[in-house]
């Protein structure tokens, strides 16, 4: 039933403005109020409406500038509105936006080839998000294992404090009860062990286990890096027990740790890897990569995605990957700025007892606090710096990989002032 009180013109028709007209006439407060009125309450949104950006800088509807060290939550790895990605989107939008996957798609095949030639994988499936990529990985691992090793093979072990997405399968895989509440019954067959504990992982394997699903570095769980030998032990366990090893690289992939993919940092390869976030530098695209052997678990009719890998998003992703690969300075800058940022955070730790630990790798960094971090995030925002807090007490920093020392120094200076007030 439509009970809305909508304005009408003199002829009785709805009086509508275009979105562009509305934005031109709205102030920041008006947009915030309209957001509360029309959108479902699924986010604790900041009272800021961002309308444009370039590189590491973004601007709100009232013209105020911010340094963005959240980058859309590790999405804009090349910064906002990178010229090569922007031009690729513009050109493709003028040519072809979408066709069904019943047809050959040039951009999709080109992107798949780029991913395969620069990773362990042989085959790629495209979708629209990280959660969808993880759903595909879960389905692929189960179906391949059942066909290869018997119908009882369905169990998947994940880590406590993990995060794998918001769909029903992905939140079941997520090892945090707060994400499960209200959505029971969850998908059967999942179990959880402490992250970084190879002995606990081995003890959890049963005859029904088919796969192990892990993040190389836990992002939402508090920017947690496992012990150096952990993944070698995990890979060995999977080989011995004939299990599928799935790496969720939705947040760590596309250069975030200083390598194109985080698995390269640990000296092993998974059987399946999931990507999203930074793959298209801002356009919604996800991917599930697998070896030739495991990829045989999918045949026509077993999995699909209407919009997955359409020409527009693939054009953006091609431009993103080519920029990272062709310009070695992007990954080099990530490693160099990651080391510089880490050094500055350690210096900050010496000044502020509230800081307990520095975590992370590359430009995925976390500051463990002795107390809640939400208030500090808010004060940084007031000072023109965008960061976020995960796991309640970990400040997370995921700036564009193109960030500069000057921008890092500005953020460190802001944090210094905010933490003085928090003492």
Active site residues: 163, 248, 277
Kindly list the strands in the beta sheet with 355-361, ordered across the sheet, starting from the edge strand earlier in the chain.
Answer: 355-361, 364-369, 394-397, 388-390
CB atoms within 10 A of CB 96: 14
Please give the structure tokens belonging to residue 11. 């002829």
Instruction: Report the alpha-carbon distance of residue 57 to residue 51 in Å, rounded.
Output: 11
11 contacts: CB under 8 Å, gap ≥ 6: none
Backbone angles phi, psi at 359, to 5 degrees: -125, 160
Longest dimension (CA), the chain: 76
Please give the structure tokens belonging to residue 129. 């998000």
Percent helix, strand, coil in the chain, to 5, is 40, 20, 40
In terms of Cβ atoms closer than 10 Å to its own Cβ (0-12, 13-18, 19+), residue 247 is buried
Nearest to 252 by CA among 244, 262, 242: 262
Q: What does each C-alpha distance from 42 to 38, 39, 166 come to in angstroms?
A: 12, 8, 12
Q: In the block, which residue shows the tokens 């976390």?
A: 366
């Amino acid at each position: 039933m439509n009970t809305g009180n909508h304005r009408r013109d003199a002829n009785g028709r709805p009086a509508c403005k275009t979105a562009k007209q509305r934005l031109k006439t709205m102030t920041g407060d008006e947009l915030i109020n309209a957001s509360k009125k029309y959108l479902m309450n699924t986010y604790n949104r900041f009272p800021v409406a961002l309308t444009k950006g370039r590189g590491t800088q973004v601007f709100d509807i009232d013209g105020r500038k911010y340094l963005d060290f959240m980058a859309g939550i590790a999405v804009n790895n090349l910064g906002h509105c990178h010229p090569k990605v922007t031009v690729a989107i513009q050109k493709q939008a003028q040519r072809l936006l979408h066709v069904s996957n019943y047809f050959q798609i040039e951009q999709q095949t080109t992107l798949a080839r780029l991913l395969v030639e620069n990773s362990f994988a042989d085959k790629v499936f495209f979708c629209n998000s990280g959660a969808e990529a993880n759903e595909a990985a879960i389905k692929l691992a189960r179906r391949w294992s059942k066909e290869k090793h018997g119908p009882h093979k369905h169990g998947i072990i994940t880590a406590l404090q993990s995060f794998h997405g918001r769909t029903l399968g992905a939140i079941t895989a997520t090892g945090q009860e707060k994400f499960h509440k209200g959505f029971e019954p969850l998908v059967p067959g999942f179990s959880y062990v402490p992250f970084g504990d190879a002995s606990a992982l081995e003890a959890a394997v049963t005859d029904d286990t088919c796969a192990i699903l892990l993040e190389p570095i836990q992002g939402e769980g508090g920017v947690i890096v496992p012990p150096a030998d952990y993944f070698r032990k995990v890979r060995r366990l999977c080989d011995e027990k004939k299990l599928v090893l799935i790496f969720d690289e939705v947040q760590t992939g596309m250069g975030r740790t200083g390598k194109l993919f985080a698995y390269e940092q640990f000296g092993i390869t998974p059987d399946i890897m999931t990507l999203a976030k930074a793959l298209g530098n801002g356009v919604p695209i996800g991917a599930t990569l697998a070896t030739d052997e495991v990829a045989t678990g999918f045949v026509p009719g077993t999995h699909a995605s209407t919009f997955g890998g359409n020409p527009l998003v693939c054009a953006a992703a091609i431009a993103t990957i080519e920029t990272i690969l062709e310009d070695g300075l992007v990954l080099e800058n990530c490693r160099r700025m990651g080391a510089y940022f880490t050094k500055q955070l350690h210096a900050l730790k010496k000044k502020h007892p509230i800081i307990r630990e520095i975590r992370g790798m590359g430009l995925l960094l976390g500051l463990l606090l002795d107390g809640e971090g939400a208030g500090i995030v808010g004060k940084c925002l007031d000072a023109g710096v965008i960061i976020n807090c995960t796991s309640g007490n970990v400040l997370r920093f995921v700036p564009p990989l193109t960030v500069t020392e000057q921008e890092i120094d500005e953020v460190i200076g802001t944090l210094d002032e905010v933490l003085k007030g928090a003492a």
